[in-house]
Amino acid sequence: MAPARVNAEKQDAEDELEMKVEKYSRGKGADLKALRDKKLKGQLAVKEKLYGQSAKVAAKAEKWLMPSEEGFLEPDNLEKTYRFPQESIVQEVDLLSSRKPFDMILPVLGPYTIEYTSNGRYMLVGGRKGHLAMMDMLNMDLIKEFQVRETVRDVAFLHNEQMYAVAQKKYPYIYNQHGAEIHCLKEHGKALKLQFLTKQFLLASINSFGQLHYQDVSTGEMIANYRTGLGRTDVMRANPYNAVIGLGHAAGKVTMWKPTSVKPLVTMLCHHGPVTALAFDRGGHLMATAGVDRKIKIWDLRKYEVVKSYAARGQSLDFSQKGLLACSNGSQVEIYRDFGGHDYRLYMKHRMLKGYQVGKVLFRPYEDILGIGHSMGLSSILVPGSGEPNFDTFIDNPMETTKQKREKEIHALLDKLPPDTIMLNPNLIATVRAPKKKEKKTKKEIEEEMEEAIEAAKNTEHKKKTKGRSKPSKRAKKKEEGVFRAKRPFLEQSKEVVGRPDKKQRIGEEVELPKALQRFAKKPQS
Amino acid sequence: MPKNPAMRRAKPARGPEKKRRHGPRLPTTMRRELDAMGPAPTRGSDDEEVSDVGAEDVYEYEEGVPEEEAGKNGRYDAVAKYEYEFDSDASEADEDVPSEEGEDMEEDENDDGEDEEKQIRILQETTGMPREAFDGKKRKQPLELPLQHGDGPVTIHDLLDNIQGKPGYSKVRKRLQQQEKKTMVMAAPLPKVEREKLERRVTYDTSRGELTKWERKVKHNREAPTLFFENDSNLGVNTIAAIANEFKPRTEFEKRIAEITRSTEIMEAHKNDGAKILELNKIDVEDVRERQNRLAKMRSLLFRHEMKAKRVKKIKSRTYHRMLKKDKLKAASADFEADPEAAKDYAMKQEFKRAEERMTLKHKNTSKWAKRILKRGLSVQDEGTRAAIAAQLQQNALLTRKMNSMKDDSSSEGSSDDDDDENDSEAKMLNRGKEKILKVLEEDKEIPNSGVFSLPFMERAMKKQEDAAYEEARQALEEYDDSLRKLEDDNTEQNEDLIKVTGKRTFGPAKNTHKNVNKRQKLEETENSDSEYDSDPAQHLGDDEATTKQDDIKLGTALLDDEQNDLYRSFDDIMKNPGPKTTFEVGMLAGDSWKTVKSSKGNDNDITNKSKLQAPSIVDLNPKQWDNNPDSDSEEEMVEGFLTISDTKESYELPSQAELIRQAFAGDDVEAEFEKDKMEVLNEENPEPEKPALVPGWGQWTDIQQKKGLPSWMIKEHEIAKRNREEALKRRKDSKLKHVIISEHVDKKVEKYLVRNLPFPYTSKDVYEQSIRMPIGPDFNPAISVSALNRPAIVKKPGVIIKPIQYEEVDPHQKPDEPKRVIQRVTPNQNAKKASSKQSKGATSHKRKW
């Protein structure tokens, strides 16, 4: 009995490892048997073996070095997880976690919006009426708090907590952590929403005229400025997978943008009314949208199809690192969880005090916490299973020291991606591009073809003719003619490619310089 | 034969000497025999052979000294010979030349010659007389040959005379005589062309062998991921074992220990121990015999089977094969009933066949034969051909028809399994009945598109019939539903598990009423999607069902409606009063995009009307969806605490009429607008071709021209352009997605990140793309493999000279996984040399050292 169980366990462990290995080997290798080139086959076989080893080691590392798993609320047979109030959850969790949820009542300076750094350590709070504050959430202390005395529409951290952008009444501004204003980004205009693309160091904003701006914050260069032409909107989210910006519009459309294309990459008709909120999953394949038509839809972005549709209102949406979906509606916050196969069902529910309008919900990275910015301040609640339990210090480190932070900043700058790399499918890079319908030939290609044609013309056999028509001189002449005839179309082509029409020369001839300047003119080569 | 390579190499250099070998010679075997008898007397005849075997490079030039060897006049006395013999012994002792047979005295002779030279020189110097004076002193001719007269060649008889009287002489003589009796005719030498051909072939063979031996090594090097070039840093000491092996006892103590350990007793004991172990390995004779018998039996069985199969295969009789096929089918059908595995297999096979058919369209008049016949006209053909064509088409229709897939069955099974524990058998029975009816309903709507049934009146009649049947079936369904509902009233347990309801096919099995709530959600969804994009319903109904037949869908949706209605009713009976329904009708009526408007939704009994309904509007669903949400936790309150408040239950207020209408219209507008937008984008990316028009004044000179209208080529061109555009539109990614526009615009800035042509060794795009799928950087790989993944093809320290390739044995089975180390030795290693010398056997002058 016992050995059988041990065997079964062993088998299970092996299966698990295999699954992980599959994950790390990123798809299957090529079918080497079909290859005919033996040298390539040998090289690829060696490479594949290395890949396999690497995947295996990575899987093992994951197994042994990242043992913590997210824990969800587990109901007894008749209980429902969404009936658990925060109170009872707080009672059950450990001391450290029980200190994390809080409510901050700030009734004066209006509805609040919040933002976390990518490592989840710092929180930026923006009150509509000009209140800005940055907090260290690890030791819960206020780093800086100040008043800008004008409307604050949105806040966004740049690459780390050292700088952040704030969309204010007329323009977005960039402040440093001490609250000193560093830049005023006038070109963006009256920005309604800000998003920062970390890998590309781009600050994207949408302003009240529906213009989308991309600005490189490392060089200060304005990368792109596009008119969406779809009206004012304040629904904007960046897809963390491919850094494509998603915008929700009043006509029920969701458009996706990249900095190098004037037209949206994808336009989807998602709702029958205006789109109120938008969120992307971390994997980039799922998108959640909420509309005025009282629907929340979850889309598969690979097929552009609805995976799931709910009848519920959503003022703001957010996906957690582990795929929970938070949705706010009036003073109520609902959290959905994927129960397998994109079957999102209600997982938790939280109700604020009546009259508190929730403005923004945002999951805190690497913590099981949902931050809520509402009309009377901000609060945070515990959502078990929302955050990634294992953090990779190469990517984000919530416990970063100053030195590490500096190091990371430099590395991030060195690894900065150019804005062209933003595309719907980033895996496309380095693949073979699809053949164009009509590709212009290069000069070299034209020359090669011409040579071939000439060769062919030279080698054509001429008929033997009588009465002196096959004299050597005649034959030579004929051959020459043939060559010329073969050459002519190519010469015309190359002229097109080079794009230097004779016009220029003619102009040069025609325009006579005044006599005083003629001596400076380039002498005609003769 | 001596194994000294240097000696062998001398062989080809002996060109001029070969010519002297023309005379009759003893066969080698005989010569050996003679040698064994006694070396001395036959020396003369052996001379050439000796020089052949024992000549060293150094002496070659002296070998041709004719005065000493060819001197047959016997000028030299015997004394000189003795001297020579003595000398030879001494020199042999000195030089320690490995001479096994003791007959390579050649070199000694030469030695002698040298000595003599020296002597003469000394004499010359001392006496001052010319060299010729002393030359006469030269002794030569070591052989005791009988005196020769004239220049005739030495015959065998001459040689035989010498050994007369010695033991074995008679034997030799007899054989010789026998040989002489047979008149040997020398074959004429081959013509030069032939000879050269042979030579070339041999040369080719050898050189090929020479080259192919490199193959392995070269292959190895080419396949190795990395080549290291490094100088030999081997100090000669490899392992501890090697050191221990070379250990020699030196001190007293060590010697004594060695004595003990290497004593015979201990060795013996050790050996015995090993033998004991071996003893255990013994196999019983019986076992072996049994095994052999068994194997033999198996082999014979196999053989017989094979023979039988061969015979059966040869049978050409048609009837036989027909019978066989029938039998097989029968067996298979029996099998299906017995075990589901076989049925599944069969279904898979069928599915594969159908897929193949869909791919190839083999039976859809694509064959050469069919095309030809169609070209000539079907009406012209005889009865048989027409029948054949019809049969083929029938086959195609059969194969390409949508089938009830296995999935449905399994899902229904699964669902029934799901509720096994909680559901009573009655409900199950009812469900099953319902399912069956649904199946029947579905199955009967296949309208053949050829033959008599395709005629319009037949179609109409069939439809009528179908409707009637459908009506009947629905009534039955209704009944089932009623009974189910009753059941459900009793059954208060609510199951939260969701069943996947996809497409119209599967809602039959999903009809378990205690899953009411979930199912309703699902249904709403399918319906919603239906209503949102209702002109393309097939696609949104479900991914699995891509049926394009409009009536199918109608039927499906109608069914859906029906059932949904019932469900709603039931739900309302349980939960709520059907109050809001009346208000929704307005919104519904307002929506003009739906083709038919349901007039009386509240009326449950009106069935006939509903069946025509395509899809209800979305607006009317909303309130129900709304109350769907709180229903699960309906009256439960959240506990007060924290910042939560519990007293408010979501109180939903009906939106005003105006708002409802606005929403409905807004939705309509959005869709139409989007469609327009999409059209615009499409036209922009694939512009519509211009309409063909004549340039005014051209082609309109005469009445006839005007009557003719546009020239045919223009129309044709236009059509082609149109078709191209349509194809381009079809090829778009968003061609099937009504609600999506995906820009096909090619971004030039992205293009620089793509590869223009496939990189060299690759020939297929897939292989290339799969080979770059893994990131190789340190961020993505463990430290162990990063260096291996990023190592350059050749690693070499500065200053190391890469020497030409050296030959060494390579294990052919060893895979070149690890980077290969090419270790260059200052002196070519001993093994390599040996191997090369072995290889050069028979090769022409091969002086190159590896």
On the question of pLDDT at B624 being above 60, the answer is no
Which whole number is the average pLDDT over B87-108? 43
In this complex, is the C-beta atom of A505 within 8 Å of any C-beta atom belonging to chain B?
no
- Which of B594, B670, B674 best probes binding to A when mutated, by most A CB atoms within 10 angstroms? B670
Compare CB distances from B754 to A36, A87, A433 and report the shortest one's residue: A433
Output B438 or B799, whichever has higher pLDDT.
B799
For A21-45, the pLDDT digits (tens) are: 888 888 888 888 888 888 888 888 8
Chain A residue at shortest CA distance from B786: A54
- Cβ-proximal residues to B670 (8 Å cutoff; 6+ apart), any chain: A251, A252, A269, A271, A272, A273
**Min Cα separation A57/chain B (Å):** 7
pLDDT at B612: 41
Contact B779 A394 (CB under 8 A): yes
- Cβ-proximal residues to A302 (8 Å cutoff; 6+ apart), any chain: A285
- Cβ-proximal residues to A189 (8 Å cutoff; 6+ apart), any chain: A170, A171, A207, A208, A209, A211, A213
Chain A residues near residue B753 by CB distance under 8 angstroms? 420-421, 428-430
Token output for B696: 């005014």
Question: How many percent of chain A have pLDDT more than 70?
Answer: 95
Q: Distance between CA A383 and CA A324 in Å, rounded?
A: 9
pLDDT at B202: 93
Which whole number is the average pLDDT over B48-52? 43
- Count Cβ atoms within 10 A of the Cβ of residue B394 and give its class: 0-12 exposed, 13-18 middle, 19 or more buried: middle
On the question of pLDDT at B154 being above 50, the answer is yes
Choice among A278-292, B47-61, B667-681 with the minimum mean pLDDT: B47-61
Chain B residue at shortest CA distance from A302: B733
For A435-488, the pLDDT digits (tens) are: 776 666 778 888 888 899 999 988 888 888 888 888 889 889 989 999 999 888
Chain A residues near residue B632 by CB distance under 8 angstroms? 80, 346
On the question of pLDDT at B207 being above 80, the answer is yes
Contact A420 B633 (CB under 8 A): no
pTM, entire model: 0.53
pLDDT at B812: 63
For A298-308, the pLDDT digits (tens) are: 999 999 999 99
In this complex, is the C-beta atom of A51 within 8 Å of any C-beta atom belonging to chain B?
yes
Q: Distance between CA A321 and CA A389 in Å, rounded?
A: 10
- In A390-449, the residues whose Cβ lies within 8 Å of chain B are 394, 420-421, 423, 428-433, 436
Chain A residue at shortest CA distance from B626: A311
Compare CB distances from B767 to A30, A86, A260 and report the shortest one's residue: A30
For A145-174, the pLDDT digits (tens) are: 999 999 999 999 999 999 999 999 999 999
Which whole number is the average pLDDT over B236-263? 83
**Min Cα separation B809/chain A (Å):** 20
In this complex, is the C-beta atom of A225 within 8 Å of any C-beta atom belonging to chain B?
no
On the question of pLDDT at B637 being above 80, the answer is no
Output B242 or B534, whichever has higher pLDDT.
B242
Compare CB distances from B667 to A260, A272, A346 and report the shortest one's residue: A272
**Min Cα separation B559/chain A (Å):** 22
Q: Which domains does chain A have, with CATH numbers?
A: 81-424 (2.130.10.10)
On the question of pLDDT at B188 being above 80, the answer is yes
pLDDT-based confidence at residue A234 (cuts at 50, 70, 90): very high
Q: Distance between CA A131 and CA B714 in Å, rounded?
A: 71
Output B102 or B728, whichever has higher pLDDT.
B728
Token output for A230: 């779809």
Chain A residues near residue B671 by CB distance under 8 angstroms? 269, 272
For A106-120, the pLDDT digits (tens) are: 999 989 999 999 999
Contact B767 A35 (CB under 8 A): yes
Contact A273 B663 (CB under 8 A): yes
Question: How many percent of chain B have pLDDT more than 70?
Answer: 49
Return the number of CB contacts < 8 Å for A and B: 220
Which whole number is the average pLDDT over B254-279? 78
Query: Mean pLDDT, chain A, as a whole number?
Result: 89
**Min Cα separation B733/chain A (Å):** 10
Which whole number is the average pLDDT over A52-71? 85
Token output for A441: 């030939």
Contact B741 A311 (CB under 8 A): no
Identify residue B819 by its one-letter amino acid code.
P
ipTM over 0.85: no
pLDDT-based confidence at residue A351 (cuts at 50, 70, 90): very high
**Min Cα separation A261/chain B (Å):** 7
pLDDT-based confidence at residue A296 (cuts at 50, 70, 90): very high
pLDDT at B333: 78
Q: Distance between CA B442 and CA B460 in Å, rounded?
A: 18
Compare CB distances from A40 to B671, B762, B788 and report the shortest one's residue: B762
Q: What 8-state DSSP symbol labels residue A520?
A: G
Q: Distance between CA B142 and CA B164 in Å, rounded?
A: 19
**Residue B552 Cα distances to B503, B548, B812, angstroms:** 11, 8, 65
pLDDT-based confidence at residue B523 (cuts at 50, 70, 90): very low
Contact A54 B782 (CB under 8 A): yes
pLDDT at B185: 73
**Min Cα separation B496/chain A (Å):** 11
On the question of pLDDT at A213 being above 90, the answer is yes
Chain A residues near residue B781 by CB distance under 8 angstroms? 54, 58
pLDDT at A329: 92
pLDDT at B644: 38
Choice among A179-193, A373-387, B52-66, B833-847 with the minimum mean pLDDT: B833-847
Contact B644 A267 (CB under 8 A): no
Question: How many percent of chain A have pLDDT more than 90?
Answer: 58
Query: Mean pLDDT, chain B, as a whole number?
Result: 66
pLDDT at B355: 83
Contact B667 A293 (CB under 8 A): yes
Highest mean pLDDT among B87-91, B412-416, B712-716: B712-716
**Min Cα separation A187/chain B (Å):** 24
On the question of pLDDT at B636 being above 60, the answer is no
Contact A346 B532 (CB under 8 A): no
Contact B225 A43 (CB under 8 A): yes
In this complex, is the C-beta atom of A47 within 8 Å of any C-beta atom belonging to chain B?
yes
Chain A residues near residue B745 by CB distance under 8 angstroms? 261, 263
Contact B758 A432 (CB under 8 A): yes
- Count Cβ atoms within 10 A of the Cβ of residue B252 and give its class: 0-12 exposed, 13-18 middle, 19 or more buried: exposed
pLDDT at B389: 86
Output A438 or B582, whichever has higher pLDDT.
A438
Torsion, Cα B368 B370 B376 B379, to 10 degrees, reads 170
Q: How far is CA B609 from the centre of its chain?
A: 61
On the question of pLDDT at A429 being above 50, the answer is yes
**Min Cα separation B231/chain A (Å):** 26
Contact A87 B643 (CB under 8 A): no
Chain B residues near residue A37 by CB distance under 8 angstroms? 761, 763
pLDDT at B426: 61
Contact B771 A44 (CB under 8 A): yes
Contact B770 A30 (CB under 8 A): yes
Which whole number is the average pLDDT over B545-560? 42
Which whole number is the average pLDDT over B26-51? 55
Choice among B358-362, B543-547, B804-808 with the minimum mean pLDDT: B543-547
Contact B639 A88 (CB under 8 A): yes
pLDDT-based confidence at residue B132 (cuts at 50, 70, 90): low
Choice among B22-31, B157-166, B632-641 with the minimum mean pLDDT: B632-641
For B281-316, the pLDDT digits (tens) are: 677 889 999 999 999 999 999 999 999 999 988 888
Taking chain B, what is the end-to-end CA distance rounded to the nearest angstrom? 26
For B159-173, the pLDDT digits (tens) are: 888 888 888 888 888
Chain B residues near residue A296 by CB distance under 8 angstroms? none
Chain A residues near residue B769 by CB distance under 8 angstroms? 431-432
**Min Cα separation B501/chain A (Å):** 12
Highest mean pLDDT among B281-295, B484-498, B509-523, B795-809: B281-295
Output A298 or A341, whichever has higher pLDDT.
A298
Compare CB distances from A273 to B628, B629, B666 and report the shortest one's residue: B666
Which whole number is the average pLDDT over A382-407? 91
Q: Distance between CA A260 and CA B96 in Å, rounded?
A: 89
Output A108 or B821, whichever has higher pLDDT.
A108
In this complex, is the C-beta atom of A477 within 8 Å of any C-beta atom belonging to chain B?
no
pLDDT at B105: 45
Q: Distance between CA B711 and CA B707 in Å, rounded?
A: 11
Contact B532 A272 (CB under 8 A): yes
In this complex, is the C-beta atom of A25 within 8 Å of any C-beta atom belonging to chain B?
yes
Q: What 8-state DSSP symbol labels residue B640?
A: P
pLDDT-based confidence at residue A220 (cuts at 50, 70, 90): very high
On the question of pLDDT at A332 being above 80, the answer is yes
Contact B754 A35 (CB under 8 A): no
